[in-house]
Structure 1
């Protein structure tokens, strides 16, 4: 009689399975799986798929269910499942998800993902799907990526910070050790497949890149057989051509690609006015001129892989690049000085030949095991970058108050980096994973400065002003990161340790720079939670640092403009950044929404400061100026409506500066910055496609000044010819603005400066692309990711090179 009259307890079990991309046959991570009663909208349970595409729904009562699987960029899928009291546990067959809007044409499969994909740990922009970037460069691609902001010079920022680390195919490149804006112009847009934006990197990433990490993925492929492509673009501003060839047989494969680019000569218009006060009297410096600029460059890569067996493989790649930026300028200037003979007038002509070249060689050995997801990697990388800035200056004075200035200034910089890295991944039960690794980066940076002045008809080197500076920076690091689940929460917890030693030596006559080594322990925590109706909530905290690179420490003066001199500061210390981020993602009724609320606290901010001496000469240098508190909000959304895809978003962030330098007044103590972007894609009949975009960014503020706002819009049209595997496109940028002008100002103790910079902006280009081969491609990437230098911005040179121009 024991159980008589008692309600029988329901039998519960689990439903488990695996999600696979139907095109690439790769696992689909972080997709949303929601279980509903059959024929009902009532949700029973939900979960996200793991890194390996697997999922498990627990504590499921025996019944019939509809299981909804969705992820941005894939068609939603619904399957019917049933568990019974006799068989409460169910392992479903692999579930294949179809990318949205794919095309099947005989044996060719074209995967057309959504232009923007929102993933748990990053945002992905699929550049190859955008017709409006064809014929451009990487700068134009990044301008269209949500969350990023790119100014007129090509300097990239994320959430108001330019302290970013840019990777190529998941690895660093010496090309970014110098001027980042110029480096991005070396990468044709047609070579870029995707751009990944990582706002909260885990401990396995280098601690550098306080603002975040940008990973540019190129169309590097290998295949069983051979394939290739050629493309070219011509326009009134930019011209480029690219070619690639890929081949593989069994366990061995090779690939190579190359590109050349040329920017048509263009005139930039410069105006400059600085007013300062000395002994209660005003002194005014004015300069107005025009500079003609041209760019020419190339980039090439080659790589190969060999799989010894199912568990051991070797991957190696080599890339080389070259870039020249030539400028010739003329300006008229005047200095009104009530103390020094009421001032003087002058005319200056200048010519600059700025050359950059470099290479990256990386080799990885990977060992995998029978146990899934367990692997060990050894990696080596050697990167070299050379930056040569040669300038000649001829300056004459109309009233003869000074002799004619006829000078040659050479500042050449070499950057050599050697990296060794080891990583190990060990999986455990219940989706737990441990990642550990160690790394060392050895940097040697040389800056050679030669100053020559014309005397008696020939140039003679001024030994007193010529010198060389050798800078060594060695970083040793180790990390541990653990990924695990707590009920419906996914957690990544880690810590990274880095020790940095620095030494700088002058070749002649000056004091050695040797700060004490510093070490950092940098924690990281990410907690994500799947909610009802395809929603995800994520909370994260990380601490990162930003080391100064050579543009900030180069001790030699850039005196092309003798009244506005730039010089680095070898005694700078790194920035320290604490960031808390709360993000919310959802995909509902055709809308994909990404939103993030964040707080950043930055110590020892590095900014450029201006001071005027008694002779009216302005010295621009870098200092650890103080602290910034920032609160920000990012929102981005996409919507598909039949053949239309619309997207848009905005970023809003505050700043609150406090200076630790008593002699530096804070001109802009607090305020806000924002940017807005929008765009869309229209897929038309007969294989036509239209892409359009627009972007606006408010002025950016520093402790002393305001940098100009920026806006851009454009349109691209592409026609595909599937039978011959070719496409023809046209792109138009700013058709109603031949020139655009950018105004900035700077003020401090006793001075105020206003400047304007105008450049040609209207751009029209035509592009053609031809592909051959019909193969299944694979991706192979190195394991090295050096994310540890504050990169140059605002159009300035690193690597010891002085900026040329007509100022």
Structure 2
């Protein structure tokens, strides 16, 4: 073991030297290339095998596998070979005694499906959980035991470069201005907070997650920190096949998910159905010191909160992929999601005077219930022309979501056993979204490509929020105008883009330009606040890559991005999740513009893949969250609001490592160190009516690291563990402390590998707590928050007519295939 540790350490320290190492002289090398496709549909067969067996010396065998685009490149000694092309459940093609003395291009090799072979063919390779590429990272959910029985939030928290805080907020390289898509579209997330929406989708419905940190002009300019695309499962194997997964856990985590697929040469019919019942107990505490103008303590408040969220959800999608002919595919997908939940929130507030003498104990109990419903229809049309890569894609999608949330909030004086107040709230959100898109790709010559397209994104969101107080004198409910409001948010974004890329020897480049026209209406109907924001912007992008060898390359990229404020951030009315900590939106919030630069390097060895990058983002009109104290209904309340404060410079260094020291052991690690410098100030009016200025100028350093290990133990047991650490971070008004957490999982195949039993523990040491300190002129506050306590889950998966590690082909060529992106629909 000591020798192994020494070898790993030496390998990591020698990365730069190894990349320059020269190979010994050897026999003449030839390059063998080509593409393997499915004969009936012309779709690429990713991870098909190519075997070269020396005709004179059969013991000499070499070969390789196709990438996810069906393309293979193999280097071998010149000679005479028996060449064989194979893929699971397809008839193999074999060429005997083929003399290969020079570079050989086989062109397109089409394999014909043969369903009868399914049970007889053994699996040759297993996809790794994380695929590291120069311009993106792909996280394959199917191989990850740790997220079994979890949600999409759990999935994202295991993706390299991505972190999810204890409240479910997603950040990419420490930047929360990230665009999150589902199947390449913003639809399907509903009108609710995106962190909450991700907790409604089961992890078992996800095929993979694609991460692109610096998107090209083809993609939405939205998201200053990059794009995360969540790709849901769509069956693609020949005949009838599928998987079913049942889960149970403690705290209550019960669910059932099934994916069934039926594919012929004319069409592919697929569906995924899932139901889950989950409880998520959480807790928090806040200790506050209130100060006078001299900084002396005047009183104390200690708040303790416990809640137990309950969510019952049903998710379903139905799809039909119709092969009109060998060059035309039409896919229609219908998705439906429904959930209901409860969130009983029990809060005790202990108030003390300056001498720590108890003054009062208040109990505030919020009995919250919620119902969500989402319907989504998508249609995709692809026309492929004669030249490989020449195609036209048209996408249309419509989605509608309704979110209905109600709460009863009684408050009592515990010491005197008397009622203080009784409130009830109702929050109704309705969202309609339409997406229109077309993309055209034209190859020019052998190594150049032109692209152009249009995207129209139209979003209409209505939020109706009401608060009523019970009048004990009259015995009637009365509206509270301080919080009751109706907000209408309408967004119309039309975009055009074009880009051109080419490869010259070992160097390739891609330049593009995107134009987006934004027309946004913010109508606060309660106070008759009507705002319209119209602006259009150009978003250039440029990418330069150089291949030192087939296993070593570097890239330099630039793109311009935008982050538009969302409805919650612009609604000036506060929510009542707490009566001493309120969030209030800012209707005057402007979009933030980001210039993103990235320099990356990728090196591959037989057992090791190393990917590192240096990045710099400069954001104008950056958003910061200002905290100040206000008196509401006689209570001192900490109010948090977003404001544009100036410029934010983010500089960082990241590396991702994938290491397979043995066939039975795989390691993945990710490390990110960044420096965040903010320059700007904000002026507001304090409780005394005087003007005060907060200087947000601040320089903060932080980092996070994650390591994941998967080991194949004896008796067919797989063991997987990961550990994540988020370092402390400071801001202008306080700091957050470091968070460390660990997950553990075991699995074993049963029933002749048709079934898998998995046991996992999320947050093994129950340590995922956000700890923050806030320092203001009027108060100092210390808080701890644990969104979800340790979770233990047991799951069973059964596969019929489908092998465990069988590669599922994607239904169509994605943007990721075209130019290294992370979004299936581009635009």
Taking structure 2 as the reference length, the TM-score comes to 0.80
> 3-state SS of the aligned residue for 1:512?
strand
> In the alignment, is residue 530 of structure 1 matched against residue 561 of structure 2?
no
Corresponding residue number in structure 2 for 1:677: 706
Corresponding residue number in structure 2 for 1:649: 670
Residue number among 465, 479, 484 corresponding to 1:461 in the alignment: 479
Q: Which moved more, 1:285-294 or 1:711-720?
A: 285-294
Corresponding residue number in structure 2 for 1:788: none
Structure 1: gaps spanning 5 or more residues: 1-11, 32-47, 58-62, 68-79, 97-102, 786-807
The separation in 1 between residues aligned to 2:736 and 2:794, in whole angstroms, is 33
Residue number among 325, 328, 344 corresponding to 1:309 in the alignment: 325
> In the alignment, is residue 482 of structure 1 matched against residue 511 of structure 2?
no
Map residues 28-43 of structure 1 onto 2, 5 A cutoff: none
Corresponding residue number in structure 2 for 1:805: none
Map residues 39-188 of structure 1 onto 2, 5 A cutoff: 53=71, 90-91=104-105, 106-107=120-121, 109=123, 112-175=126-189, 177-188=191-202
565 and 66 in structure 1: CA distance in 2 versus 1, 3 angstrom threshold: farther
> In the alignment, is residue 639 of structure 1 matched against residue 654 of structure 2?
no
Corresponding residue number in structure 1 for 2:599: 582
Corresponding residue number in structure 2 for 1:801: none
Map residues 184-583 of structure 1 onto 2, 5 A cutoff: 184-237=198-251, 238-264=253-279, 266-278=281-293, 282-284=297-299, 286-296=301-311, 297-334=313-350, 346-397=362-413, 404-455=420-471, 456-462=474-480, 466-515=484-533, 517-532=534-549, 534-583=551-600
Q: Which moved more, 1:740-749 or 1:393-402?
A: 393-402
Deviation at 1:153, TM superposition (A): 2.0
- Write out per-residue CA displacement over residues 396-421 of structure 1, whole angstroms, 9 at most, x where no aligned residue: 34799998221112222222111111
Deviation at 1:672, TM superposition (A): 0.8
Q: Which moved more, 1:393-402 or 1:740-749?
A: 393-402
105 and 692 in structure 1: CA distance in 2 versus 1, 3 angstrom threshold: farther
The separation in 1 between residues aligned to 2:557 and 2:98, in whole angstroms, is 35
Q: Which moved more, 1:387-396 or 1:700-709?
A: 700-709
Deviation at 1:190, TM superposition (A): 2.5
Corresponding residue number in structure 1 for 2:61: none
Deviation at 1:505, TM superposition (A): 2.2
Residue number among 617, 624, 631 corresponding to 1:600 in the alignment: 617
Q: Is the 8 A contact 2:679 2:697 kept in 1?
A: no
- Write out per-residue CA displacement over residues 609-654 of structure 1, whole angstroms, 9 at most, x where no aligned residue: 2111356232221111221112111112122122211222311000
The separation in 1 between residues aligned to 2:809 and 2:46, in whole angstroms, is 16
Corresponding residue number in structure 1 for 2:743: 714
The separation in 2 between residues aligned to 1:135 and 1:325, in whole angstroms, is 18
Q: Is the 8 A contact 1:705 1:747 kept in 2?
A: yes
> In the alignment, is residue 624 of structure 1 matched against residue 644 of structure 2?
yes
The separation in 1 between residues aligned to 2:206 and 2:403, in whole angstroms, is 25
Q: Which moved more, 1:162-171 or 1:689-698?
A: 162-171
Residue number among 752, 756, 759 corresponding to 2:780 in the alignment: 752
Deviation at 1:570, TM superposition (A): 1.6
- Write out per-residue CA displacement over residues 286-325 of structure 1, whole angstroms, 9 at most, x where no aligned residue: 1422322223222111111222222332211111222334
Corresponding residue number in structure 2 for 1:772: 800
The separation in 2 between residues aligned to 1:93 and 1:439, in whole angstroms, is 34
> 3-state SS of the aligned residue for 1:514?
strand
Deviation at 1:779, TM superposition (A): 2.6
Deviation at 1:92, TM superposition (A): 5.4
- Write out per-residue CA displacement over residues 494-544 of structure 1, whole angstroms, 9 at most, x where no aligned residue: 1111111111223344231223x1111111111111114721111111110
> In the alignment, is residue 728 of structure 1 matched against residue 757 of structure 2?
yes
> 3-state SS of the aligned residue for 2:155?
helix
> 3-state SS of the aligned residue for 2:346?
strand
Count of aligned positions: 729
Deviation at 1:104, TM superposition (A): 9.4
Deviation at 1:363, TM superposition (A): 0.9
After superposition, the CA RMSD in angstroms is 3.7
Q: Is the 8 A contact 1:476 1:499 kept in 2?
A: yes
> 3-state SS of the aligned residue for 1:174?
coil
279 and 645 in structure 1: CA distance in 2 versus 1, 3 angstrom threshold: closer
The separation in 2 between residues aligned to 1:473 and 1:758, in whole angstroms, is 35
> 3-state SS of the aligned residue for 2:168?
coil
> 3-state SS of the aligned residue for 2:568?
helix
Taking structure 1 as the reference length, the TM-score comes to 0.82
Q: Which moved more, 1:598-607 or 1:289-298?
A: 289-298
Q: Is the 8 A contact 1:363 1:782 kept in 2?
A: no
509 and 180 in structure 1: CA distance in 2 versus 1, 3 angstrom threshold: closer
The separation in 2 between residues aligned to 1:539 and 1:743, in whole angstroms, is 37
451 and 94 in structure 1: CA distance in 2 versus 1, 3 angstrom threshold: closer
129 and 227 in structure 1: CA distance in 2 versus 1, 3 angstrom threshold: same
Q: Is the 8 A contact 2:432 2:459 kept in 1?
A: yes
Q: Is the 8 A contact 1:268 1:290 kept in 2?
A: yes
- Write out per-residue CA displacement over residues 26-49 of structure 1, whole angstroms, 9 at most, x where no aligned residue: 3679x9xxxxxxxxxxxxxxxx99
Q: Which moved more, 1:137-146 or 1:296-305?
A: 137-146
The separation in 1 between residues aligned to 2:658 and 2:218, in whole angstroms, is 31
- Write out per-residue CA displacement over residues 13-60 of structure 1, whole angstroms, 9 at most, x where no aligned residue: 99673255999983679x9xxxxxxxxxxxxxxxx9997737799xxx
Q: Which moved more, 1:551-560 or 1:673-682?
A: 551-560
> 3-state SS of the aligned residue for 1:308?
strand
Q: Which moved more, 1:361-370 or 1:108-117?
A: 108-117
Q: Which moved more, 1:264-273 or 1:677-686?
A: 264-273
Structure 2: gaps spanning 5 or more residues: 1-27, 50-65, 82-96, 111-116, 684-691, 817-827
- Write out per-residue CA displacement over residues 636-682 of structure 1, whole angstroms, 9 at most, x where no aligned residue: 21221222112223110001111142444346711211011112111
> 3-state SS of the aligned residue for 2:756?
strand
- Write out per-residue CA displacement over residues 694-715 of structure 1, whole angstroms, 9 at most, x where no aligned residue: 1111134444333343222122
Q: Is the 8 A contact 1:717 1:730 kept in 2?
A: yes
224 and 495 in structure 1: CA distance in 2 versus 1, 3 angstrom threshold: same
> 3-state SS of the aligned residue for 2:222?
coil
- Write out per-residue CA displacement over residues 229-286 of structure 1, whole angstroms, 9 at most, x where no aligned residue: 2111111133221112222333223211111222236252433425343476644451
Deviation at 1:354, TM superposition (A): 3.2
> 3-state SS of the aligned residue for 2:348?
strand
Q: Which moved more, 1:764-773 or 1:264-273?
A: 264-273
Corresponding residue number in structure 2 for 1:798: none
Deviation at 1:571, TM superposition (A): 1.5
Q: Is the 8 A contact 1:157 1:164 kept in 2?
A: yes
